[in-house]
């Protein structure tokens, strides 16, 4: 296919935007270091919205043209050079993460804002730099065209995420951060072994080139297995989820929102790249069922443990463990029964929509939990009585986030689970449908526990420790509404997820 | 046995020892050391790959060498961060364990 080859190896017209998406955050981080710490927030407030604009431009570009954007760095073509590629998946995820990160920035202004005239404090300084670093690392994850750049990106992501866990410097959060770091390091070194083995066999790590040469042989299988286990550890898929609840629940609210909504999606995205783009034919029915089985176990385990939690933030963290499970149900559902290859179809769309709607909904819920903590001084679920009257907007945002997690229409979660259910029926794998429905019931149960407690009448008058700024509540509500309305919006541009998929390049576009 | 095979086997052995240490040792510091051992094994494997993949008649393939330098920098940064966390934990609580039952610090959770 000379045409396709030429197409894949040249910089497209708007390819320079991809470079900008990586350079801007990096510039922000470096500038914040060089300038006084107090400027970090101002720099972030200039750069994060421009990142949102940039992600929108890339999204619109990919959607309108129906082709991926490509930038060949330094005009050195792969396999020697590095390519940046934005297909439909990258564009959609980039836009989602930009929206979430901007909302988190607005929310964090209250907690990590640097007041005029104050001495520069460590935590705000670190927070804004880490937020920009996470944004940049996520963009590299979405745009990178080869497996080694993905390794560097996932490491950057880890290094930015771990300090966020222990921003307040308490011993238990430091322990959580250390445990997270050790899990992540094990994950990344396993991933690195995999890349070494793949390079040894094929002398390239470029995703497109690799996908054409891949053969079923022991070295490739070992490499794929090691990389997958490493990425599972970073994504906190059951049974490698142990680090997640203490890390996500202990962090400050704004940081929890970023960690739960954004960071775990990074390594998940690489799993998708690896299995759907690099080696769609390698997983096979048994492997796909195993992925789905781990996902199902995560849903059941995460939900059951979430039901038993006494504290709101831990409940939300365990709910993240469960919702990550849904993401892996798409693997058995996307497997074509005839060719035994992973296909880009409704199941992939459903899985990615689940990632997007979970990102927005979960960020909103962690923000709401942070506001509840700020108002009450605790987040014990049993003692939330009356809070719905004190901060109704926040509780509303929390409930809307829950609606999306449960999968009620018209939320993004509904559309995602609908597509997955449909794929389960189409491929005759009814057992995944049962898991999904059971997960929905569990989710409704723990949402009901929290909400019924929040709207209950307090036994004694509520003692409020403080008030929360309206814009913090608005940020949480905006994200929850985004998640809710995603189901409607996705009726239009949902096709973007199929743009630039390997199938649609080889054959005709879907 | 060729040199490449010898180096490859040494790398594999290091990876095995490091992995064992990382999984079984409860002490964070020992885990970090094991991670470094594991890392060295991987770097050695990269070196072997560089030797084997030199199909173009050069002495070695430069791409894996470039990768391994990046990976060493990453591993160094990771180690520094992990050590910093362990030290800080030690200062705060007087001990550095991952034991969840004894968080050590005072104060409630947020």
CA A318 to chain centre: 16
Q: How far does A148 lie from chain B, in Å, by closest CA? A: 8
Q: Give CA–CA dist B71/B79, Å, rounded.
A: 12
Other C-beta atoms lying within 10 Å of the C-beta of residue A188: 26
Task: Name chain A contacts of B110, Cβ cutoff 8 Å.
Answer: 168, 250, 252, 313, 373, 379
Write down the number of H helices and E strands in chain B: 3, 0
Q: Which residue of B has its CA nearest to A193?
A: B42
Close Cβ partners of A36 (under 8 Å, ≥ 6 residues apart) = A120
Task: Name chain B contacts of A169, Cβ cutoff 8 Å.
Answer: 88, 92
Interface residues from chain A to B (CB-CB < 8 Å): 80, 148, 151-152, 155, 158-159, 162-163, 166, 168-172, 174-175, 177-179, 181-182, 185-186, 188-189, 192-193, 195-197, 199-200, 203, 246, 249-250, 252, 311, 313, 373, 378-379
Residue ranges of the domains in chain B? 3-93
The answer to whether B49 and B61 are in contact (CB under 8 A) is yes
Asked, for residue A276, whether it belongs to a domain, the answer is no
Tens-level pLDDT at each residue, chain A (510 residues): 344 444 556 777 778 888 899 999 999 999 988 887 678 888 888 888 998 999 999 888 888 888 888 888 888 887 788 888 888 889 989 999 999 999 999 988 888 776 654 555 778 888 889 999 999 999 999 999 889 999 999 999 999 999 999 888 788 888 889 999 999 999 999 999 999 888 888 888 888 888 888 888 888 899 999 999 999 999 999 888 888 888 888 888 889 999 999 999 999 999 999 998 888 888 888 888 999 999 999 999 999 999 998 888 899 999 999 999 999 998 888 888 777 788 877 888 888 889 999 999 999 999 999 988 888 888 888 888 778 888 888 899 999 999 988 888 888 888 888 888 888 888 888 888 898 899 999 999 999 988 888 888 877 777 777 778 888 888 888 998 888 888 777 666 656 777 766 554 333 333
If residue A85 lies in a helix (H) or strand (E), which one and from where to where? strand A83-86
Q: Give CA–CA dist A89/A418, Å, rounded.
A: 19
Alpha helices (runs of H) in A35-87, residue ranges in sequence order: 39-65
Number of domains in chain A: 1
Asked, for residue A205, whether it belongs to a domain, the answer is no
| Domain at B3-93, CATH class | mainly alpha
Asked, for residue A385, whether it belongs to a domain, the answer is yes
Q: Give CA–CA dist A381/A403, Å, rounded.
A: 19
Q: What DSSP letter does each residue of A435-461 carry, written as one string? A: HHHHHHHHHHHHHHHHHHHHHSPPSS-
Q: What DSSP letter does each residue of A100-144 carry, written as one string? A: HHHHHHHHHHHHH---TTPPPPHHHHHHHHHHHHHHHHHHHHHHB
Nearest to A162 among B45, B81, B109 (CB): B81
Give residue A312's domain range.
283-491
* Residue whose token pair is 């790959």: B49
The maximal CA–CA distance of chain B, rounded, in angstroms, is: 64
pTM listed for this prediction: 0.91
Q: Give CA–CA dist A336/A344, Å, rounded.
A: 10
Tokens of A156: 């950057």
């Amino acid at each position: 296919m000379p045409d396709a080859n030429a197409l894949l190896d040249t910089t497209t017209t708007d390819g320079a935007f991809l470079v900008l998406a990586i350079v801007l955050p990096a510039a922000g981080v470096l500038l914040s270091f060089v300038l006084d710490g107090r400027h970090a927030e101002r720099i972030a407030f200039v750069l994060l919205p421009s990142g949102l604009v940039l992600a929108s431009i890339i999204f619109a570009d990919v959607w309108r043209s129906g082709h991926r954007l490509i930038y060949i760095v330094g005009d050195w073509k792969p396999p020697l050079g590095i390519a940046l590629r934005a297909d439909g998946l990258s564009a959609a995820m980039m836009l989602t993460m930009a929206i979430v990160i901007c909302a988190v920035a607005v929310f964090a202004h209250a907690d990590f804002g640097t007041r005029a005239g104050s001495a520069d404090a460590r935590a705000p300084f670190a927070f804004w730099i880490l937020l920009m670093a996470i944004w940049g690392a996520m963009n590299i994850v979405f745009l990178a065209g080869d497996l080694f750049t993905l390794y560097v990106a996932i490491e950057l992501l880890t290094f930015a995420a771990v300090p966020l866990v222990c921003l307040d410097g308490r011993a238990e959060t430091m322990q959580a951060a250390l445990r997270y770091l050790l899990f992540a390091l094990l994950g990344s070194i396993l991933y690195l072994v995999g890349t070494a083995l793949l390079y040894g066999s094929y002398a390239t790590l470029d995703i497109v080139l690799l996908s054409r040469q891949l053969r079923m042989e022991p070295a490739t299988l070992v490499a794929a297995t090691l990389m997958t286990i490493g990425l599972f550890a970073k994504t906190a898929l059951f049974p490698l989820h142990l680090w997640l609840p203490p890390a996500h629940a202990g962090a400050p609210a704004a940081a929890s929102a970023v960690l739960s909504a954004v960071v775990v999606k990074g390594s998940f995205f690489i799993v998708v790249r690896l299995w759907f783009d690099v080696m769609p034919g390698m997983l096979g029915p048994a492997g796909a069922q195993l992925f789905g089985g781990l996902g199902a176990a995560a849903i059941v385990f995460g939900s059951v443990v979430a039901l038993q939690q006494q504290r709101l933030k831990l409940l939300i963290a365990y709910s993240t463990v469960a919702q990550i499970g849904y993401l892996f149900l798409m693997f058995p559902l996307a497997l074509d029964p005839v060719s035994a290859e992973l296909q880009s179809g409704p199941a992939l769309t459903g899985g990615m929509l689940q990632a997007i709607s979970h990102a927005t909904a979960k960020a909103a819920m962690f923000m709401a939990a942070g506001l509840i903590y700020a108002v009450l001084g605790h987040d014990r679920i049993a003692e939330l009585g009356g809070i719905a009257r004190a901060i109704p907007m926040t509780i509303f945002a929390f409930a809307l986030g829950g609606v999306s997690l449960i999968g009620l229409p018209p939320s993004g979660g509904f559309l995602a689970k609908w597509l997955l259910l449909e794929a389960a029926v189409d491929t005759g794998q009814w057992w995944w449908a049962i898991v999904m429905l059971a997960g929905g019931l569990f989710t409704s149960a723990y949402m009901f526990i929290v909400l019924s407690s929040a709207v209950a009448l307090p036994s004694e008058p509520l003692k409020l420790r403080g008030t929360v700024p309206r814009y913090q509540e608005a940020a949480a509500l905006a994200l929850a509404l985004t998640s809710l309305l995603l189901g409607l919006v996705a009726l239009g541009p949902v096709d973007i997820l199929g743009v630039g998929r390997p199938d649609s390049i080889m054959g005709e576009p879907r | 046995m060729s040199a490449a095979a010898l180096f490859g086997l040494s790398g594999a052995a290091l990876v095995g020892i490091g992995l064992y240490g990382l999984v079984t040792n409860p002490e964070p510091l020992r885990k970090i050391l094991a991670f470094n051992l594991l890392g060295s094994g991987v770097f050695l494997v990269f070196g072997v790959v560089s030797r084997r993949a030199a199909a173009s008649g050069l002495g070695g393939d430069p791409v894996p060498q470039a990768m391994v330098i990046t990976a060493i920098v990453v591993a160094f940064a990771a180690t520094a961060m992990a050590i910093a966390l362990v030290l800080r934990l030690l200062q705060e609580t007087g001990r550095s364990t991952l034991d969840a039952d004894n968080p050590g610090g005072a104060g409630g959770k947020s």
